[in-house]
Amino acid sequence: MKLLQLPLVALLATTALAQNCVIGGPKNGTHVKPGKNITVEVDRPDSLTGSTEVAIIIGFMSCVGFPNSQCPPPDELIGSVLYNGPYNPQFHTNVTPTKPPYQNFSVMIPTTARKGVAQLSVTHVSLVGAGPFPLLESLNVSLIVQ
């Protein structure tokens, strides 16, 4: 019986990985200024497995004051919520080279952001497969607040 569970676990893991999002921008190490807008691009590579997007949360946290200026992982602490709502990635045919489906969000870096290392996080929630099962993932990039 346990031998049948292993292929099922592998199939679910593969299906979940195929649904992952990627932060297309800003890139790690991007310099930002408090009170200024930035564009956050959230890519969702195309997949053969069906899924329903539920929402994303974009968060910002200054890492100054944490040991070694390292923020806690985004699945533990989001910080200031810059966006919380629907996610509807689309193909864009006018982009070269061809990109996966994505959606851009304009968010403002908090005016209270401290100079130094910060973390921009994206928490993605979707329903995957025919079941469906919930998928929750947390992504992050490091920013430098000037």
For residues 9 and 13, give the distance between their C-alpha atoms in angstroms, rounded to a whole number: 6
pLDDT, mean of residues 123-128? 96
What is the CB neighbour count within 10 angstroms for residue 141? 18
DSSP three-state, residue 116? strand
pLDDT, mean of residues 37-43? 98
Residue-wise pLDDT for 60-84, tens only, equals 999 999 999 899 999 999 999 999 9
For residues 128 and 135, give the distance between their C-alpha atoms in angstroms, rounded to a whole number: 7
Cα-trace Rg, the chain: 17
8 A C-beta contact, residue 25 and residue 120: no
- Looking at domain 2-145, its CATH architecture is Sandwich (2.60)
Residue-wise pLDDT for 13-28, tens only, equals 444 445 699 999 999 9
